[in-house]
Amino acid sequence: MKYAIILLAILGFSFAPQQYPNADTIIKNIDDNMYSNSLISTSKMTIYGKRNNRTITSKSYTQGSTKSFTEYLAPAREKGTKMLKLEDKLWIYSPSSDRTIQISGHMLKQSLMGSDLSYEDMMDERELTDIYNAKVTGSEVIDGRKAWVIALTAKVTDATYAKQKVWVDQERYVPLRQDMIAKSGKLLKRVTLSNVQKISGRWFPKKMNYKDMLKQGKGTDFEFVSIQFNPKIPVHIFSKASLKK
C-alpha cells in the first residue's frame, strides 16, 4: 500500500500542469523596460543588400506614442531627410527636392529606405498592453537565456500585426525574439534583440535585427548608439516647421 501511494504521488507530480506566471504581468514588465514618456536617441541602421551594405545614422525624438521626429545624419545621400509623426499621420521632408510629402494608407507598408522595416514598424510606438491580449504558452532557452514564450493577439483593429509570438527573458523581462504574424497565421517578420544593457535602471536591448520573412537576405540591423529615457523635449520639435529647419 505504501509503495502504491508513493507511485501515485510520483505520477501526480509527473502529470501536474506546469504553472506559468501571469501573462499580463510579464508584458507590463516589458512595457516598463521598453517604453518611456519621452525618448531621445541616436542610432545606426545597417541594411544588408545582395551586393553591398548601407549604414544610415539618425537622431530621433519621441513623445509618448503619438509624436516622433527623426533627422537622418549620414550618409550624404540621406543627410537632411526628416520624418515627423503626429498621431496617425506621417510626413517626410526631402532636402534634394525641398518637398514634404505625406505617407498614408497602403504606402505605410512600404520599406523604409530599402530596409526590412516598414513605415508602420517605425510608427507604432504603443505599449504592448494597449494593443494585445497575452497568454503564456511555454518556456524555452534562447541564446543561453531562459525565456517565457508569450502568444499575443490583437485587441484593437489598427494593430500593425494581428498576432505575435514573443520570447521574453525570464530574469530581465525584455524580448529576445519577436515573430510578427498575420491574421492567417503566416509569419511576416522576425525581430531578434540583443546587446541587453541596464540603462537608467531598466534593461534594454540596444541592437535589433529586423528580418522580412517574405524576402531573402540577412535583414536589417538597428542599433542604438545613445539613448535618453524621459528627457524634456521642446514642443517646437514636433511641428511641421521643424521639417525644413
Is 7 within the bounds of a domain? Answer: no
Question: Is the predicted pLDDT of residue 8 greater than 60, yes or no?
Answer: no
State pLDDT tens for residues 136-148. 999 999 999 999 9
What domain range includes position 151?
23-244
| Residues whose CB is less than 8 angstroms from the CB of residue 2 and which lie 6 or more positions away in sequence, other chains included | none
Q: Specify if 99 maps to a domain.
A: yes
Q: How many domains does the chain have?
A: 1
Distance, C-alpha 164 to centroid of its chain = 11
pLDDT of residue 18: 64
pLDDT grade for 191, boundaries at 50, 70 and 90: very high
In the predicted structure, residue 2 carries a pLDDT above the cut 90: no
Amino acid (1-letter code) at residue 224? F
What CA–CA distances, in Å, run from 45 to 28, 113, 199, 200, 212? 28, 10, 21, 23, 15
CA distance 88 to 208: 24
* Residue 58 in domain: yes
Q: Do the domain assignments include residue 36? A: yes
| pLDDT above 80 (res 244) | yes
pLDDT at 14 over 50: no
Q: What is the pLDDT of residue 3?
A: 55
Chain mean pLDDT for the chain = 91
At 80 the pLDDT is: 95
Is the residue at 15 inside a domain? Answer: no
- The answer to whether position 8 is within a domain reads no
Q: What is the CATH number of the domain that holds 217?
A: 2.50.20.10
Q: Residue 14 domain-assigned? A: no
In a domain, 209, yes or no: yes
Percent of the chain residues past pLDDT 70, beyond the cut: 93
